Amino acid sequence: MTMRQALRQELEKITQPLAIAVSDGVDSKALAICAVEDLGYRPIIVSMTLSDRQSTDFRGAERFASAYGLEFVPVLLPVDAKIIERDIVTLVRTHKVFGKASIECNWGFLYVCEALQKREIDHLVTGLGCLHFQEGRNPGIQGVRENAALFQKFRHRDFSKPNSSGMRDLRRIAASYGITAHYPWKSPALFNLWLNKTWADLNKPLPKNPIRVEFPALRNNARHSNLQLGDSGIRDLLAATAIRRWKPQAKSSKAAYNVVAGRAQ
């Protein structure tokens, strides 16, 4: 089985209509291309950005939707501090999202799910769970790039975490809106596809090279930052808002989020 066939199998399980959350990265775009070209689906493409800017991810998703003739749903996130404070409380106390990264990653999905609920779309596909490649950003990867056994330990570690990339949290958030969140990249078939590979096998000559090979349209797609990072401004805005409201002397937003969760030290 090829990577593309495995993705197709996962997408075939999902009832239409569906939306795919697309960034400017290859993970989510590959899912959308597979849905369109291999299955004949016409998914809605959804992407988020702060209301005072258009991030690289947002612009890339909009261009992608236009290129494939797909409906694009822009989700503009609030920048008002009071609204963000309310949302942080909702994430932590209602949805039980506690990790700093998960709070900052999943905040925007409150608004994505709200937009999809209004459109009566019950299924949301995301590129989360694409943990196969490890791309080399983790400092621990540096010494194991050519060692298959050690590299596979990293893969097993991340896949064994039930809330990797905040996926469990997002599933819970989506469910509160009557939406099912799907992670095709989390497929065991895909994990097994690269069991004996090294980091170099999967990331040379380009990061996430197997995706670029099987989806030629993505061959020259730029490498992109995680959703809440880069020029999105999401992490910085949420962190600054939380610190100012709950822990003015803190150096990290983690301490502020802990106050909201009742875990302050």
DSSP secondary structure of 8-46: HHHHHTSPSSEEEE--SSHHHHHHHHIIIIIT---PEEE
Dihedral pair phi/psi, residue 116, rounded to 5° = -70, -35
Local structure of 169: helix, strand or coil: helix
Class of 3-260 in CATH: alpha beta
Q: Which residues pair with 124 in a beta bridge?
A: 19, 181
Confidence tier at 141 by pLDDT (50, 70, 90): low
pLDDT, tens digit, for every residue of 57-75?
999 999 999 999 999 999 9
pLDDT at 265: 46
151 or 52, greater pLDDT: 52
* Burial of residue 39, with CB atoms counted within 10 A of its CB: 0-12 exposed, 13-18 middle, 19 or more buried: middle
Question: Amino acid identity, residue 153?
Answer: K
Question: Where are the strands (E) in the chain, listed by range?
Answer: 18-21, 44-50, 72-77, 123-125, 180-182
Taking only the tens place, the pLDDT of each residue in 102-128 is 999 999 999 999 999 999 999 999 999
Each domain of the chain, given as residue ranges in start order, spans 3-260
Question: Average pLDDT over the chain, rounded to whole?
Answer: 92
Threshold 0.85, pTM exceeds: yes
